[in-house]
């Protein structure tokens, strides 16, 4: 019997007259949706939506949930492209390590710090970006941080000393912060529950794909034209994306009130506004009207991450984001030290090329994780009599755990025994790329299902955990690899990943109890003021 099936009728809400309410869904526990009283429930997909939509759209054409597919696509494209270049410039310089060591006579920890410090400031920047986006909107945050990012690209390209370059890298991390959080926020603003799995994956893909395509670009540019050319290229490419952002990215933050949304019945879903709305000129203003309750927003946006960081579901989602990103970071840091040395003797460009395998794994994970988690949830919802439980996404993690385990362990052993580079690259980097996109996509979608009003804050918690952990890697991973063999840091961190792999088992069976423990939390009421 399903662990989430409602076994005690007395614990369910009073029976609803379906005809009088026209199948309006009732949510009694965050993460539980009573979607239809029918065995033929249709959970829905992007092209085949369910009869009931979550969140409930309003009748306002300005509601981003009502926007046409074209406008939704334009908005998510703009954010994704900017986030891609944020990641390319900030997190892709590992193939250039040899050039920095030669030019400034650096030690291994010093050159690794050029990545570690950037990662640390990415987390700090998220603490600024999320409150600003909730007070002033998503658009102005992207524009302001984008301007700062342009300045850091110029600074990095012109740096003449290690100290100057390191300072530029720190500010590059700070101004790249939107790539860590705003993508998920915008996806949540624009798309319904049945679309959220795939579009959260797209938001994550845009950032993480940059971390793998970026090293390919960096290695090629650095070998042929010198390392500053990489940052000039990033400047040119991001400037184009920034212009597109200015002219075609509308504000997606919309203040909806839970009571008003819940009052909309099924008839409103078939009104002329759904799928035909569009932003107005006011949505394109650089400065949006400040929320009159901005002080409470500001306090809330610093307190809420602290509050939800004690919630087991949020902590596990942050752990999944951390393990996915950090196993990738291990390979990212080690690639120059492994492949530029005997027996492989790769050039700078060739070191960059190994990231193609990770990019392929990333794309496979993204294209499959969101749809698979939606499909699994759909089937389990049907079996559960039309009651959707957030934990129904979790079984979709199983195939990824198996593939990632095999790939990581085989590649780590291959490093120690100096197996052909193809084995290490295809299995190790490919598995890392798949883990980076698949596991966080499902885990974050699950956490957002449980705590919808604080999707941005969930990403802040995950980002802080991930980036603080990643910062520490810049100190111990290279030195441990040189002292004990490169297999050791890979397997040490994989042991950490096992925790993220095993926790979904108890969460699947007792996750609803965890949600019940926080059902009265004030975070669930924040939707009324967002």
Which spans in 92-161 are helix H? 97-104, 108-136, 138-158
How many Cα neighbours within 13 Å face the side chain of 267?
5
User: Between 81 and 109, whose confidence is greater?
Assistant: 81
Residue 203, pLDDT score: 78
Neighbouring CB atoms inside 10 A of 130's CB total 28
Q: Name which of 345-349, 444-448, 519-523 the model is least confident about.
A: 519-523
Could you give the angle at which helices 108-136 and 97-104 cross, rounded to 10 degrees?
A: 120
Instruction: Report the distance separating Cα 182 and Cα 113, nearest Å.
Output: 26
User: Between 18 and 255, whose confidence is greater?
Assistant: 255
**What six digits make up the tokens of 490?**
């890979």
60-93: burial string, b at 16+ Cβ within 10 Å, e else: ebbbbbbbeeebbebbbbbbbbbbbbbbbbbbbb
Print the domain residue range for 321: 64-256+310-528
Q: Which of 196-205, 352-361, 489-498 has the highest mean pLDDT?
A: 352-361
- Cβ contact 376:393 at 8 Å: yes
Does the pLDDT value for residue 297 go beyond 60? yes
Containing 388, the helix (H) or strand (E) segment is strand 387-389
Task: Report yes or no on 22 lying in a domain.
Answer: no
Task: Report yes or no on 485 lying in a domain.
Answer: yes
Residue 346, pLDDT score: 94
Residue 4, pLDDT score: 38
Task: Report yes or no on 191 lying in a domain.
Answer: yes
Residue 273, pLDDT score: 66
**What six digits make up the tokens of 128?**
């600024």
Residue 309 CB burial class (10 angstroms; 0-12, 13-18, ≥19): middle
Residue 257, pLDDT score: 58
Q: Which of 156-165, 209-218, 387-396, 473-482 has the highest mean pLDDT?
A: 156-165
Does the pLDDT value for residue 471 go beyond 60? yes
271-291: burial string, b at 16+ Cβ within 10 Å, e else: eebbeebebeeebeeeebeeb
Does the pLDDT value for residue 261 go beyond 60? no
Which of left, alpha, beta for 168 (phi over 0: left; psi -120 to 50: alpha)?
A: alpha
- Cβ contact 54:25 at 8 Å: yes
Task: Report yes or no on 274 lying in a domain.
Answer: no
Give the CATH number for residue 343. Answer: 1.20.1250.20
Residue 462, pLDDT score: 86
Task: Report yes or no on 286 lying in a domain.
Answer: no
First to last CA, the chain: 38
Does the pLDDT value for residue 82 go beyond 90? yes
Task: Report yes or no on 302 lying in a domain.
Answer: no
Instruction: Report the distance separating Cα 279 and Cα 251, nearest Å.
Output: 8
Residue 263, pLDDT score: 44
> How many domains is the chain built from?
1
Task: Report yes or no on 158 lying in a domain.
Answer: yes
Give tens-digit pLDDT for 22-48: 343 444 688 888 765 443 444 444 445
Residue 436, pLDDT score: 85
Task: Report yes or no on 339 lying in a domain.
Answer: yes
Residue 37, pLDDT score: 45
Q: Which of 195-204, 265-274, 358-367 has the highest mean pLDDT?
A: 358-367
Give tens-digit pLDDT for 280-290: 888 888 877 77
């Amino acid at each position: 019997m399903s662990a989430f099936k409602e076994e005690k009728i007395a614990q369910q809400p009073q029976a609803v007259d379906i005809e009088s309410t026209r199948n309006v869904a009732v949510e009694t526990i965050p993460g539980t949706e009573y979607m239809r009283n029918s065995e033929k429930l249709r959970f829905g997909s992007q092209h085949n939506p369910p009869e009931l939509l979550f969140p409930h759209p309003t009748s306002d054409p300005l509601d981003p949930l009502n926007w046409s597919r074209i406008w939704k696509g334009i908005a998510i494209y703009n954010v994704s492209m900017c986030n891609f270049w944020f990641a390319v410039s900030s997190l892709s310089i590992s193939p250039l390590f040899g050039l920095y060591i030669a030019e400034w006579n650096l030690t291994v920890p010093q050159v690794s710090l050029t990545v570690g410090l950037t990662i640390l400031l990415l987390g700090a920047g998220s603490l600024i970006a999320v409150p600003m986006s909730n007070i002033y909107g998503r658009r102005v945050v992207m524009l302001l941080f984008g301007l700062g990012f342009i300045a850091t690209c110029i600074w990095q390209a012109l740096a003449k000393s290690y100290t100057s370059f390191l300072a530029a890298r720190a500010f590059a991390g700070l101004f790249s912060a939107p790539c860590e959080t705003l993508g998920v926020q915008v996806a949540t603003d624009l798309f319904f529950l049945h679309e959220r799995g795939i579009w959260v994956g797209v938001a994550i893909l845009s950032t993480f794909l940059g971390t793998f395509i970026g090293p390919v670009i960096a290695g090629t540019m650095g070998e042929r034209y010198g390392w500053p050319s990489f940052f000039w290229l990033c400047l040119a490419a991001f400037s184009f994306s920034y212009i597109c952002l200015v002219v075609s990215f509308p504000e997606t933050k919309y203040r909806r009130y839970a009571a008003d949304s819940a009052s909309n019945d099924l008839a409103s879903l078939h009104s002329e506004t759904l799928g035909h709305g569009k932003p107005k000129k006011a949505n394109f203003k650089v400065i949006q009207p400040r929320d009159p309750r901005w002080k409470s927003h500001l306090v809330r946006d610093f307190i809420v991450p602290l509050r939800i960081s004690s919630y087991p579901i949020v902590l596990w989602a942050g752990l999944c984001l951390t393990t996915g990103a950090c196993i990738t970071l291990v390979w990212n840091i080690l690639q120059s030290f492994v492949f530029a040395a005997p027996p492989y003797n790769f050039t700078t460009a060739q070191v960059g090329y190994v990231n193609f395998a990770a990019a392929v794994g990333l794309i496979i994970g993204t294209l499959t994780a969101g749809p698979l988690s939606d499909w699994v949830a759909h089937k389990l919802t049907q079996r559960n009599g039309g009651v959707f439980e957030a934990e129904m996404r979790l079984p979709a993690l199983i195939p990824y755990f198996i593939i990632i385990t095999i790939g990581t362990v085989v590649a780590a052993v291959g490093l120690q025994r100096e197996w052909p580079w193809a084995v290490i690259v295809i299995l190790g980097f490919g598995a890392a790329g798949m883990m980076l996109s698949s596991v966080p996509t499902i885990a974050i979608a699950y956490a957002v299902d449980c705590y919808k009003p604080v999707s941005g804050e969930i990403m802040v918690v995950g980002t802080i955990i991930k980036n603080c952990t990643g910062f520490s890697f810049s100190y111990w991973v290279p030195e441990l690899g040189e002292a004990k063999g490169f297999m050791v840091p890979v397997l040490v961190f994989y042991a950490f990943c096992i925790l993220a792999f095993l926790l979904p088992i108890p969460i699947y069976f007792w996750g609803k109890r965890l949600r019940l423990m926080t059902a009265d939390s004030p975070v669930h009421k924040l939707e009324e003021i967002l």
